[in-house]
């Protein structure tokens, strides 16, 4: 599956041919450099490793510096492997946004925004317990009962409760490409994608 590593720039809106206002996400897709070709004989599987976004040499350890030097490129911040890569490539090749065309649909993976510790109303969409009247004063956003006391005398695994929210890998599937700006390596896709501005995205065709 062909793909690129990208960075979320932000959201905007564009007008289509019928004059409809369509919200879209602007993504800096590449340029990515091929840093390694994994083969079944040597590595046990086939994949193409891409690297994206320059970083300072002093921020990179020696094994990675040697890895990038072997691929004839500088240190990079983000690496990712793509299986079943459709284009024939070799280490050191540069892959840009022209890998895609306007008619494709993309699956985009990113790390969702971290929300910290949240209650069940925000984390799971609970409606809260009971009415706001009849004497209750502090149970509006409570989860209610989480299990019986005598049997089974424990809380079942997977019970939806308060806890840390966000900061997880989320994939948005079948996003339509609205526009490609090759001179700036920009990609406009319909709708939103997970992550904050400046976060890395894995874009797969």
- Give 3-state DSSP helix, strand, coil % of the chain, rounded to 5: 15, 40, 45
What pLDDT sits at residue 1? 64
What pLDDT sits at residue 168? 93
What pLDDT sits at residue 173? 92
Q: What span, in angstroms and rounded, lies between the C-alpha atoms of 78 and 198?
A: 13
What pLDDT sits at residue 70? 87
What pLDDT sits at residue 23? 93
Q: How confident is the model at residue 202 (pLDDT cuts 50, 70, 90)?
A: very high
Arithmetic mean of pLDDT, 177-195: 90
What pLDDT sits at residue 17? 83
Domains of the chain (ranges, CATH numbers): 3-116+169-204 (2.40.30.10), 117-165 (no CATH)
Arithmetic mean of pLDDT, 131-159: 86
pTM as predicted: 0.83
Arithmetic mean of pLDDT, 5-20: 90
Q: What is the pLDDT of residues 52-81, one digit of tens each?
A: 988 898 888 899 889 888 888 888 889 999
End-to-end, the C-alpha distance of the chain in Å comes to: 6
Arithmetic mean of pLDDT, 87-104: 82
Q: Which long-range contacts (CB under 8 A, 24 or more apart) does 67-74 make?
A: 67/35, 67/36, 68/35, 71/33, 71/34, 71/35, 71/36, 73/33, 73/35
Q: How confident is the model at residue 154 (pLDDT cuts 50, 70, 90)?
A: very high
What pLDDT sits at residue 172? 92
- Sign of the torsion angle spanned by Cα atoms 23, 177, 201, 62: negative
Check whether 11 has a pLDDT greater than 90.
yes
Q: What is the pLDDT of residues 173-182, one digit of tens each?
A: 999 998 888 8
């Amino acid at each position: 599956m062909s793909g690129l590593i990208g960075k979320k720039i932000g959201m905007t809106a564009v007008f289509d041919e019928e004059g409809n206002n369509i919200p879209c996400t602007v993504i800096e897709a590449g340029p990515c450099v091929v840093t390694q070709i994994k083969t079944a004989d040597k590595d046990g599987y086939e994949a193409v490793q891409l690297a994206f976004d320059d970083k300072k040499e002093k921020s990179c350890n020696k094994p990675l510096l040697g890895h990038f030097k072997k691929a004839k490129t500088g240190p990079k911040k983000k690496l990712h492997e793509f299986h079943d890569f459709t284009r024939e490539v070799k280490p050191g090749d540069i892959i840009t946004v022209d890998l895609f065309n306007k008619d494709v649909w993309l699956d985009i993976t990113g790390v969702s925004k971290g929300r910290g510790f949240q209650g069940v109303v925000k984390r799971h969409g609970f409606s809260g317990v009971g009415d706001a009247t009849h004497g209750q004063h502090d149970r509006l956003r409570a989860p209610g009962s989480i299990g019986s006391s005598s049997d089974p005398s424990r809380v079942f695994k997977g019970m939806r409760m308060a806890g840390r929210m966000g900061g997880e890998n989320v994939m948005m599937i079948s996003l339509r490409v609205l526009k490609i700006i090759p001179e700036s390596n920009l990609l406009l896709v319909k709708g939103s994608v997970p992550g904050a501005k400046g976060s890395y995205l894995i874009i797969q065709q």
